[in-house]
Structure 1
Amino acid sequence: MKTYVSDVFPKLQRFSEKLDNLTLLTEQHWVSIDNIHNTKQVYNFRDNNDLLISTDGKIEKGKWEYLGNKSLMIEKPNESYLFKHGFFDENILALKIDSKNEYAVFVNENKYNGDINSLEKVSDFLENKYIESSLKANNFHSNETLSHISQSKVEKVRIEKIKKLERESNKYFIILIVIIAITGLLIYLDS
């Protein structure tokens, strides 16, 4: 099992599922991206903790177990591994070798049929899906907030104009009443 050093997985932790989400892990066809162009190696984590590893159609049986504390053990006939949570979603499974900064990386074959077949493509896919979409969403919310602020300012200006018109109208109304009263008084005094 080939492993890779990558800095993309730690950056994406907030988007990752927990490794104990066994319904997302099990009964999927997780294709290892190591040497995928020459050899196709598929890991199938079964509900009964059996692990089926198919290498170009040849099956090797092993075991797997979620150990808690974000740890997963994989037993193959000749070797065993202790992995820590690296990154996990419905598309990508990155398992970090315990005490190392190296990852075994798998792509869910049920979701992608060979499109994502290298660490670079995995990194690009994850960065596009999570980081760029997050930035776009933040930008959208910022624009929405600015639009809301602009609308709020327009509404405040409109309200101020209405209040000013009301004050002016009240002033003219009072002047009109005074004129009518004086005119009435003058007419009364003249008669």
Structure 2
Amino acid sequence: MNDYLHNTIPNLKPFNYEVHHDSHFINKQWVLINGISKKKSIYTFKADNILEISRKNHVIKTTWNINLQNIFSIETEDGNITVKAYFKDDDILVLNNQSKEEFAMYINATNYDDDINSVEDIQAFLKDKYQKKVSTIIYDHEFYYIEKSEEFGPFKVEVLAEKVKSGDISAYCFVRDINEHDYSNRLRISDLIQEL
């Protein structure tokens, strides 16, 4: 059952009560991605084991529990289901059904300003989220650059941008991450600057 999930969505982190329960899970507005084009559902797991499922203008209150192995038991309209929870990252929750080869995926919309009502909204959310993440990683990271067969660095992107602006180096010089051993990714300074 786990192979199916991990082949479909790689690099999942298992739910860890100490790490995730209070800061990432409880009282967050989890928008169900599955079937969003037909109806929008928001799941809010409360600390008192109440699960609120909001759909349009009505709220269904049901229950949820967690056991020592981080297996969740959730009461739904269809009966009691048992799921195991995973995080793709802090804002993407996956609940893997333990009796079927199916899972539900949720986006944490608690701190997101726009409504998530469609597949297009999900794409906009993910694009916004990962652009910010890439910019942060690039901004804090260091790179070597090669010019006229000589390597220089490492430098942060803001330093490389200043060197390009002042005309000291070309924006078309190849760069490599400090953790890479060659320039085979064919990444240029201009590509880094564009992501800032």
TM-score, with normalisation over the residues of structure 2? 0.54
Match of 1:159 in 2: none
Match of 2:183 in 1: none
Match of 1:121 in 2: 123
CA distance in 1 between counterparts of 2:95 and 2:43 reads 13
Match of 2:28 in 1: 28
Matched, 1:43 2:40: no
| Amino acid paired to 1:76 | T
| Amino acid paired to 1:55 | R
Shift of 1:82: 0.9
Match of 1:152 in 2: none
Match of 1:67 in 2: 67
Shift of 1:84: 1.1
Shift of 1:73: 1.4
- Determine if contact 2:70/2:85 at 8 Å carries over to the other structure: yes
SS at match of 1:94: strand
RMSD, aligned α-carbons: 4.1
Partner deviation per Cα, 1:27-84 (whole Å, 9 max, x = no partner): 1111111232332211111110011111212121211112132321111244111111
Identity %: 21
SS at match of 1:105: strand
- Determine if contact 2:50/2:61 at 8 Å carries over to the other structure: yes
Q: How does 1:48-59 map to 2 (within 5 A)?
A: 48-59=48-59
| Amino acid paired to 2:123 | K
Higher relative contact order (Cα pairs below 8 Å, separated by 6+ residues):
1
Unpaired runs of at least 5, structure 1: 149-191
- Classify 1:64/1:146 alpha carbon distance in 2 versus 1 (closer, same or farther; 3 Å): farther
- Classify 1:127/1:60 alpha carbon distance in 2 versus 1 (closer, same or farther; 3 Å): closer
Match of 1:107 in 2: 107
SS at match of 2:123: helix
- Normalized per residue, which structure has more helix? 1
- Among 15, 19, 40, the alignment partner of 1:18 is 15
Match of 2:97 in 1: 97
Structure number with greater Rg is 1
- Determine if contact 1:33/1:107 at 8 Å carries over to the other structure: yes
Runs of 4+ in 1 over 6 A off after TM superposition: 129-135
Unpaired runs of at least 5, structure 2: 146-150, 155-196
CA distance in 2 between counterparts of 1:111 and 1:68 reads 30
Match of 1:143 in 2: 144
Q: In the comparison of the two structures, how many residue pairs are matched?
A: 142
- Determine if contact 1:91/1:111 at 8 Å carries over to the other structure: no
- Classify 1:10/1:86 alpha carbon distance in 2 versus 1 (closer, same or farther; 3 Å): farther
Deviates more, 1:82-91 or 1:60-69: 82-91
